[in-house]
Chains A and B, each alone.
Chain A
Amino acid sequence: MQVLRNVFRRKVRVLLTISGITIGVLALVVMGSMAERISVMVSGGTRFYADKVTVTAEGGASMFGNSLLSLKKREEIKAVPGVLEVSASVGTLLDPEAGMSFGMPPILLGDDMRGDPYESFRIEYAAGRPLRAGELGSVVVGSDLVTRLGAEVGKQVTIRGEQFTVVGILDKTLTAPDMAVYMNLADAQRLFAQDLPEMIRSFVDVEDLVTTFTVYPAPGVDPEELAQTINETVSGVTATGPSFFQEQIANATRILNAILYGVAIISLVVGGLSVINTMTMSVSERTREIGVRKAIGASDRQIVRQFLTEAGVIGLLGGISGLVLGVIAATLGDIALARSNVDLFLVTPRLAIGSVVFAVVLGLVSGLYPSLHAARMRPVNALRYE
Chain B
Amino acid sequence: MCPVIQAKDVHKRYVLGRNNYVDALRGVSLEIEPGEMVAVMGPSGSGKSTLLHILGCLDSLTAGEVWLDGRRVDNLSGRELVRLRREELGFIFQTFNLIPSLNALENVALAAQYAGKSRGAARQVALETLAAVNLPNHHQHRPSELSGGQQQRVAIARALVNRPKVIFGDEPTGNLDSASSEEIVALMKTINKAMGTTFVLVTHDPEVAGACGRVIHLLDGKVSS
Contacts and interface: CB of A to CB of B under 8 A. Distances in A.
Interface string A99-137: 000000000000000000000000000000000000000
Interface string A5-42: 11001000000000000000000000000000000000
A298 interface: yes
A289 B97 CA distance: 7
B86 interface: yes
B91 A296 contact: yes
Interface stretch (B99-107, B173-181, B186-194, B203-211): B99-107
A292 B99 CA distance: 8
Given A6-B101, A288-B97, A296 B53 contact: no
A295 B91 contact: yes
Interface residues of A, number: 20
- By CB atoms of chain B within 10 A, which of A6, A295, A297 has the most? A297
Nearest to B102: A2
A294 interface: yes
A300 B82 CA distance: 9
Nearest to B79: A299
Contacts of B100: 9, 289
A147 interface: no
B115 A297 contact: yes
Contact of A296 (B78, B101, B158): B158
Given A2-B101, A2-B106, A295 B85 contact: yes
A295 B53 CA distance: 10
Interface string B73-92: 00000110010011100110
A348 interface: no
B110 interface: yes
Interface stretch (A55-63, A64-72, A328-336, A377-385): A377-385
B58 A383 contact: yes
Contact of B101 (A5, A298, A380, A383): A5
B39 to A, nearest CB: 20
B111 A378 contact: no
A305 B58 CA distance: 21
Interface residues of B, number: 26
A300 to B, nearest CB: 7
Contacts of A294: 58, 85
Contact of B82 (A289, A292, A299, A383): A299
B25 interface: no
Contact of A380 (B53, B79, B86, B99): B53
B127 interface: no
Given A2-B101, A9-B101, A296 B58 contact: no
Given A298-B114, A299-B82, A302-B114, 19 more contacts: A2-B101, A6-B101, A9-B100, A288-B97, A289-B97, A292-B93, A292-B99, A293-B110, A293-B114, A295-B56, A295-B58, A295-B85, A296-B91, A296-B159, A297-B82, A297-B87, A297-B115, A380-B53, A383-B97
